Structure 1
Amino acid sequence: MAGKRGINYGRFMERAMRGVVADVLGHVAKHGLTGEHHFYISFDTTHPGVDIPTYLHENYPREMTIVLQDWFEDLAVTGDRFRVTLNFSDRPETLVIPLDAVKTFVDPSVKFGLKFDDHDEDEEAAAKPPAESAEAGRREEPDEDDDGGPDGTGGHPSSGEVVRLDRFRKR
């Protein structure tokens, strides 16, 4: 039984999309980057479990974007996080980033991107009616000529659109 509130499809979709990020990074860890693929990954540096050197945290106290393209080492996905070694001014540094800390994941070579909510919706906020919800003032309406994409789902990655998961949240 789903409970009084029903099924939170937005939360399931967000978990699935974070699974896509994990799967893609796992694939690259095993097979390397091919073709023109490269990734811009932004993450919340204050998220619990983020492990970055102190000087990087001082330079990026809230959010940081990393690029996986020409040089990176030791990329690995383990459970709910990934690890990668990157070069910062000729200093190789290992970063550990929980998948829940990821805010955006973009592969510009194929115009694919995911943008995750900036916050976790707690149970109480999810139960409030739309007029009382913090999300109510941020609702985005589709363009009048937007038919929802070729399959009616609101677009697809090849269109170059960033998939915004809050579009699917109950308001």
Structure 2
Amino acid sequence: MAQEPPAHDQMHYEAMAQEALRGVIKAALKRAASPEGLPGAHHFYITFKTEAPGVSGPVDLLSKYPDEMTIVLQHQYWDLAPGETFFSVTLKFGGQPKRVSVPYAAVTRFYDPSVQFLLQFEASAAPTDPGAEDHPDEPEAEPGPPADPAEKVVSLDQFRKK
């Protein structure tokens, strides 16, 4: 007896599931933006496509990361504003405060290493550059989830007061 191929998903369940999981990010950021801030040791590594529609920030910063960028929300972030479709935050890069705005749809990875919680999302249709080289002058991040070699991680560790 031959099996019939699965029917075409006209409900788009995968897209609905991705959107629902991005709601987890929005809820976590809303909690981090509350007056109590991040509870305990929680902190977030958020990776996003820098060329995705709606991503905004200083051109010099985004041009250093032509594919993806990872930001860390832990001790030094300001004016975190999680909206319905995007979030904005001010972070220091090279000692200078810079504001970035990121649509939740541009997020490809959300990781809270304090509890080993990871959400990964389908990458956009933009191809990645497997030959991208690392820049030795960029700050290093503490170990996180397995990452592609082309990924650039921005860590705020060097800017923290000890």
Same structural fold, with TM-score higher than 0.5 when normalized by the shorter chain: yes
Distance in 1 (CA, whole Å) between partners of 2:121 and 2:82 is: 19
Q: How does 1:139-150 map to 2 (within 5 A)?
A: none
Partner of 2:19: 15
Q: What is the aligned length?
A: 120
Task: Give the alignment of 1:60-99 within 5 angstroms.
Answer: 60-99=65-104
What are the superposed Cα offsets for residues 108-146 of structure 1, whole Å, 9 maximum, x if unpaired?
0001000000137xxxxxxxxxxxxxxxxxxxxxxxxxx
Offset, 1:73: 0.4
More helix by share: 1
1:71 CA displacement: 0.4
Q: Distance in 1 between matches of 2:88 and 2:14?
A: 27
Q: Provide the identity percentage.
A: 43
Partner amino acid, structure 2, of 1:79: E
Distance, in Å, in 1 between the alignment partners of 2:77 and 2:9 is 44
1:27 is aligned to 2:31: yes
CA RMSD of aligned residues (A): 1.9
| Inter-CA distance 36–9: structure 2 relative to 1 (3 Å threshold) | same
Q: Give the alignment of 1:81-160 within 5 angstroms.
A: 81-119=86-124
Structure 1 unaligned blocks of 5 or more: 121-160, 163-171
Q: Which runs of 5+ in 2 are unaligned?
A: 1-7, 126-144, 147-162
Q: TM-score, normalised by structure 2?
A: 0.69
- Where 2:114 maps in the other structure, the secondary structure is helix
Cα distance in 1 for residues equivalent to 2:81 and 2:61: 21
Deviation beyond 2 Å, 4+ runs, structure 1: 4-8
Alpha-carbon distance, 1:6 to partner:
3.7
2:136 aligns with none
CA–CA distance in 2 between the matches of 1:59 and 1:6? 39
- How many Å apart are 1:8 and its aligned residue? 2.2
